[in-house]
């Protein structure tokens, strides 16, 4: 494999790993194999530490393709829990408020989800990598500073209800680049007249890359350690 000219790897990101953790592992192996001190490795689309699933890793000159790769449509399977909210809209932070759920029914959920297909406006989470005057929103939020982010226009192609209970639902979501599923959980909760937060998230597709196309980090590491690698004499 020619990692300098550029290779693209499909990785299933583990729970509690950051996207940078995955890049760091891949880069570390390649630096040893290529006998270099520096080498370009990047990813096409960040996943939160509490999310798992498809990550596209690009090496060498293939990093020039990152922008086009991350523009692809994303598919997720998400678990949304009703009756409580958190500042981060997921399990990264503690519950800050609770709400009644006795009025929630399957019919209400299905009708509400239908409202979120097509073009929507979404305010990103305060605990996100969005920038405000050059500062990361999540750093400001963790300091207790006010974070005012503008709504973004997004497209939700599909929302399919996979499982339902009055306490939580599982949904399949097909959406455009830049969609925060945590924020979608917040908005769905508000539309249902309750609070909600994301309790599990798995990215199952990016563009044409599906989860079944992906390797575990350990399998990718083993492959990189064993595969024949092109090492130029002069570069």
Tell me the catalytic residues. 48
**30-36 long-range contacts, CB within 8 A, separation 24+:** 30/3, 30/59, 30/224, 33/224, 33/225, 33/229, 33/231, 34/3, 34/4, 34/229, 34/231, 35/231
Cα angle 31, 49, 131 (rounded to 5 degrees) comes to 90
**93 class by beta-carbon count within 10 Å (0-12 exposed, 13-18 middle, 19+ buried):** middle
């Amino acid at each position: 494999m020619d990692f300098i000219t550029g290779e693209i790897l499909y990785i299933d990101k583990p729970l509690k790993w950051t996207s940078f953790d995955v890049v760091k592992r891949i880069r570390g192996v390649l630096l040893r194999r290529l006998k270099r001190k520096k080498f370009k490795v990047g990813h096409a689309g960040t996943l939160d530490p509490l999310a798992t699933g498809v990550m596209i890793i690009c090496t060498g000159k293939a990093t020039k393709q990152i922008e086009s790769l991350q523009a692809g449509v994303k598919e997720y399977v998400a678990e949304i829990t009703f009756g409580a909210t958190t500042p981060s809209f997921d399990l990264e932070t503690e519950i800050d408020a609770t709400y009644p759920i006795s009025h929630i029914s399957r019919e209400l959920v299905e009708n509400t989800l239908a409202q979120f297909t097509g073009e929507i406006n979404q305010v990103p989470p305060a605990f996100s990598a969005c920038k405000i005057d050059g500062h990361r929103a999540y750093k400001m939020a963790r300091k207790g500073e006010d974070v005012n982010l503008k709504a973004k226009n997004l497209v939700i192609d599909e929302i399919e209800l996979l499982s339902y209970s009055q306490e939580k639902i599982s949904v399949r979501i097909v959406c455009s680049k830049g969609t925060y599923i945590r924020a979608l959980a917040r908005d769905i909760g508000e539309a249902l007249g309750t609070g909600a937060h994301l309790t599990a998230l798995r990215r199952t597709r990016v563009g044409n890359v599906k989860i079944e196309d992906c390797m575990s980090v350990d399998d990718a590491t083993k492959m990189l350690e064993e595969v024949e690698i092109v090492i130029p004499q002069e570069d």
